[in-house]
Amino acid sequence: MPVDGAEAERLRGGPSDAVHDPVLFEAFYRRHVDAVLRFVARRVDDPHTAADLTAEIFLAVLDSAHTYKPGLGSETAWLYGIARNVVSSERRRVAREAERDRRISGRRLLEADDIARIEDRLDAESPGRRALAALERLPEGERAVLELIVVDQLTIPEAASALGIRPVTARVRLHRARKALRGEAGSQGSRSPRVSETPDTSLLYVRKGEA
Taking CA atoms, 150 is separated from 72, 74, 125, 146, in Å, by 20, 17, 13, 6
Average pLDDT over residues 139-150: 89
Report the pLDDT value the prediction gives residue 109, as an integer from 0 to 100.
65
What whole-number distance in Å separates Cα of residue 26 and Cα of residue 40? 20
Is 144 or 95 the better-scoring residue by pLDDT?
144
Predicted confidence (pLDDT) per residue in 19-55, tens digit: 888 899 999 999 999 999 999 999 988 899 999 999 9
Is 176 or 205 the better-scoring residue by pLDDT?
176
Report the pLDDT value the prediction gives residue 125, as an integer from 0 to 100.
76
The answer to whether residue 83 scores a pLDDT higher than 50 is yes
Sign of CA dihedral 7, 10, 12, 15: positive
The answer to whether residue 57 scores a pLDDT higher than 70 is yes
What whole-number distance in Å separates Cα of residue 135 and Cα of residue 180? 10
Q: What are phi and psi of 139, to 5 degrees?
A: -60, 150
Average pLDDT over residues 67-71: 86
Predicted confidence (pLDDT) per residue in 84-122, tens digit: 999 988 888 877 764 555 555 556 667 777 888 888 888
Task: Work out the percent of the chain whose per-residue pLDDT is above 70.
Answer: 71
Q: How confident is the model at residue 15 (pLDDT cuts 50, 70, 90)?
A: confident
Report the pLDDT value the prediction gives residue 3, as an integer from 0 to 100.
42
Report the pLDDT value the prediction gives residue 105, as an integer from 0 to 100.
58
- Residue 170: closest CA among 139, 146, 201: 146
Average pLDDT over residues 159-185: 87
* DSSP code per residue over 7-43: HHHHHT--HHHHTT-HHHHHHHHHHHHHHHHHHHHTT
Q: How confident is the model at residue 163 (pLDDT cuts 50, 70, 90)?
A: very high
Average pLDDT over residues 174-190: 72
Is 90 or 189 the better-scoring residue by pLDDT?
90
